Structure 1
Amino acid sequence: MSGGSGMWGVRVGPQVRFYPLGEVPLSPFLEAGTSLNFGGGTWVEVNGVRRDGDMLLTPVATLAVGSRLSLGRLFFVSSRVGWGWRLRQDNFQMRDGQPPDGLTDAAISLIQHGGFLFSGTLGVSFF
C-alpha cells in the first residue's frame, strides 16, 4: 500500500508485488496495482477572471518492475519503473459548466496521471 499527496490531491495505492527469488537481500520484483487519486477543488485566473473547477476521482492502473534491497531486519530501499493507465478520462470539469480555456486545458493535461513512472522508496517492513 502506498499513499501521499500530489497535484491531484490525496491518493492511495493498493499494490501487489511478486518476488520470484523470494526473500533474499537484493530481490527483483514485478508489481501490479492501482492509484486512487481523490482530486479536489482548484481555480484558474485568466485576464483577471477567476474560474473554479473540480479535479474528480481518478483511478490509474499501474504495472512496474523493480528491485528491493534489505538494510537489516526492518529497513529497505527499493526502486521501480513502469507505466500507468488512467482509467477515467472525464476527470476534470469547470464549476460553471463551460469547457476550460486552452491554457487551463494544457495545464490540466500536464498534471494528468498516466504514462511513464518511476519511484524510489526508503521504507520499514513490519513483516
Structure 2
Amino acid sequence: MMKTNNYIILGLLALGFMACEMRDELKKLPSKEDQQEEGWFTLDVVSNGQNQTTKAAFDSKDVDATLYPVEIINMISGTTEHHYDSYADLLTQGQVKLVTGKYKVVAYNYDGSNVNASERPWFRGETEYESKYDL
C-alpha cells in the first residue's frame, strides 16, 4: 500500500512539473528561444552649423528638418519597421522599441521623384547602425 501511495505522489509531482513547463504553450506565449532581445532607439538632430546665404529662397518645409519624414528600415529583411510623417512625430513618441539587429534611418524632405533639382531642392540623409544586446 505504501508503495502505491509513493507511485501516486511521484506521478502527481511529475504531472505538476510538466504542467508548469507547458504553461507558456497553453497560454500561447512565445517560448524563451523564440523571444528576441529588444532595445530602445532615440534620434537627435545635429546641425553642422552652416547657415549659408544663397540666392534661392527655400520653402520652410524643405529646410526645416523637424518636418522631414523618418523611416527606420531593417537592413536584413529590407522592410520598413517604423515610418513617421515627420521628425516631430518621432519626438512626440519619444523612444522606439526595436529588436536587436541592423537598421538604417532615413530622413528626407520629399521622395525626389518627378521634380527637377532646379525646381525644388532635395535633401536626404541616412545612417546605419546596429542594435546589440550585451550582458
| Same fold, judged at TM 0.5 (above) | no
Q: Which of the two has higher C-alpha Rg?
A: 2
Higher strand content, 1 or 2: 1
Shorter chain as denominator, the TM-score bin is under 0.3
